[in-house]
Amino acid sequence: MIYPKIPLAQTVVQLFKAKNIKHVIISPGSRNAPLTIGFSNDVFFKCYSIVDERCAAFFALGIAQQLKEPVAVICTSGSALLNYYPAVAEAFYSNIPLVVLSADRPKHLIGVGDGQTINQKNVFANHILYEANLKLDIKDENNIPVDEELPILKNLEDKLERFLGLQKGIQVYNEGEINSAVNHAIIKKGPVHINVPFDEPLYEVVETPCVSPKVEEVQFKSKTIDAYELQECLEYWNAASKKMILVGVNYPDEIEQKWLDELAEDDSVMVFTETTSNIQHDNFFPSIDQIIAPLSPDKQKQLQPDVLLTFGGLIVSKKIKALLRKYQPKQHWHVDEKSANDTFFCLNKHIKTSPNQFFESFFEKQTHYVKSTYKDIWLAVKEYRIEKHKAYLKEVPFCDLKVFDVVLRNIPDNSVLHVSNSSAIRYMQLFNCNKTVQVFCNRGTSGIDGSTATAIGGSVVSERRTTFITGDLSFFYDSNALWNNYTQKDFRIVVINNQGGGIFRILPGHKNTANFETYFETRHDLTAEHLCKMHGYKYTMASTEMGLKKVLKEFYEDGERPKLLEVFTPRELNDELLLQYFDYLK
């Protein structure tokens, strides 16, 4: 077996193997050659070569998102590292374990005008869980750092002794930092950065490793709920006749069904679920905006809960945020092992445990349900909204809203659905998704960058087939994501092309002016056809409801290539029909 000659590179590879980090995404470069040699020559690792570092990082994030385990990305020195930042930020806010390995120049070559160098130390300072800046190996006794306060080393024996001592200290330091960084990613579920300096020569190899690094095992600390805090919550809960649970981004099957059934039985509890919550029950309330948007101020006031319990990640719906900020609950508790956002500016408790642990402790002590008409009143509203929703879709002309209705009806059972940000995820919020479908979206930073790469990365390791729904700007922005050799044959992309940033037509602003169309909507005449030809996708298109239904009959049939369906909708009509939709629901 071949190993890089540099001890530091050997140390990184061996510790990653010991930590069971199997998936490694490598972008080409010279300074990272020792790492590339080490990882790519060990069959334990599944290595991927992706040129564009921004896409590579999101590709890795997609894998880590699906597997819920650390995935590594490796790049050369210089600006290559900066391209990881969008994915690092997304991983930070979405609690995804991403391990960034950046090669670097030796310290004496930084800040002196040497090529491909930047200040890489602490480059992700505001969005990282741990930063490890490793030390350069001492290559030989003639490369010992000079310290004027030490006596001059007069003979070779003295120099060799100091050389061995310094190198041993460096090795121990590096091992400790690598262990700490990876353990942080695993325990705290988020991104870490390991900066690895290498001196030339970079490509030398050996057949036997010269180091055997010490592995520090991951130490998980069990978190228990404080008995006093739990009792206080129970007293509030049992006294309240209006309780709301709001679930943000949540992994599929994360919450035990028995707790969901328990909540569904309580007439004083409304459970609002976002599309990204991956939680469904007939007595719960998906399609939040469908419920809230048509409400008068008096009706909004009636919805105001006494107690709000939240768990999961960030919330998509602006309407529920606005309502709960205006009509604040008396108590807001957030259940999460790691952090709590004061989204509604009234957070009372951060309960530092998992939702399952919380519900187990909570329901063990809860002895009765509170009599209330809270849920029943709003279940009636929900049924009315559903009927109005169906009626509107029957009469509305072809538009973005209609496309989501048709496309979502055709998503295969037991599959994965990735959704891009901006208007795509907001349209999704208006529909009840197939209960067997798992939904993912990069809601950590809510950016359009990287959605395609994340979906492709996730599809590579998922046991389920994957569909990705995206808007045109998001798709073209991240089109380099198609440039890889790992896309699965059953991967499907649906691009809804309304010739610009359709969400800006929905938001307040001056529309139909040259300034708006150029700088906000960003009007264009691009299509995905030539990109599909270049990257080996089978391309189909539709611009009518009948055409869309016809194409979808064949879209999910097996083939030798991934497929992309581009659906063209009327640019100037979509926003009007969406606003009319909310009026119609009243």
- Report pLDDT digits (tens) over 537-557: 999 999 999 999 999 999 999
DSSP of 317-363: -HHHHHHHHHS--SEEEEE-SS----TTS---EEE-S-HHHHHHHHH
% of the chain surpassing 90 pLDDT: 84
- Name the strand (E) or helix (H) holding 535: helix 529-535
Tell me if 500 sits within 8 A of 522, measured CB to CB. Answer: yes
CATH of domain 3-206: 3.40.50.970
Question: In the structure, what pLDDT confidence band is assigned to residue 149 with cuts at 50, 70 and 90?
Answer: very low
Instruction: Name the packing angle between helices 355-365 and 227-239 (round to 10°).
Output: 70
Cα-only R_g, the chain:
27
Mean pLDDT (whole number) for 15-35: 97
* Mean of the per-residue pLDDT values of the chain: 92
CATH superfamily name and code, 396-585: Thiamin diphosphate (ThDP)-binding fold, Pyr/PP domains (3.40.50.970)
pTM: 0.93
The residue to which tokens 């590292």 are assigned: 81
Q: Checking DSSP bridges between strand 563-568 and strand 538-542, what pairing results, if any? A: parallel
pLDDT at 142 (0 to 100): 46
Tell me if 440 sits within 8 A of 417, measured CB to CB. Answer: yes
Angstrom distance (rounded) from CA 171 to CA 209: 14
The residue to which tokens 């998509």 are assigned: 316
In the chain, CATH 3.40.50.970 sits at: 3-206, 396-585
Mean pLDDT (whole number) for 207-217: 95
% of the chain surpassing 70 pLDDT: 93
Q: Strand ranges (DSSP E) for 394-520?
A: 416-419, 438-440, 466-471, 492-497
In the chain, CATH 3.40.50.1220 sits at: 227-379
Is the bond leading into 197 cis (omega within 30 degrees of zero)? Answer: no
- Residue 315's CB is within 10 A of a number of other CB atoms, namely 23
Tell me if 182 sits within 8 A of 15, measured CB to CB. Answer: yes
Mean pLDDT (whole number) for 144-155: 48
Out of 3.90.850.10, 3.40.50.1220, 2.60.40.10, 3.40.50.970, select the CATH number for domain 227-379.
Answer: 3.40.50.1220
Structure tokens at 567: 């659906």
Q: How does pLDDT run across 403-424, given as a tens digit for each residue?
A: 999 999 999 999 999 999 989 9
Angstrom distance (rounded) from CA 468 to CA 493: 5
pLDDT at 112 (0 to 100): 86
Question: In the structure, what pLDDT confidence band is assigned to residue 148 with cuts at 50, 70 and 90?
Answer: very low
Q: 381 or 163: whose pLDDT is higher?
A: 381
Structure tokens at 526: 């691009």
Structure tokens at 530: 């030539």
Per DSSP, the three-state class of 539 is strand
Mean pLDDT (whole number) for 160-187: 88
pLDDT at 505 (0 to 100): 61
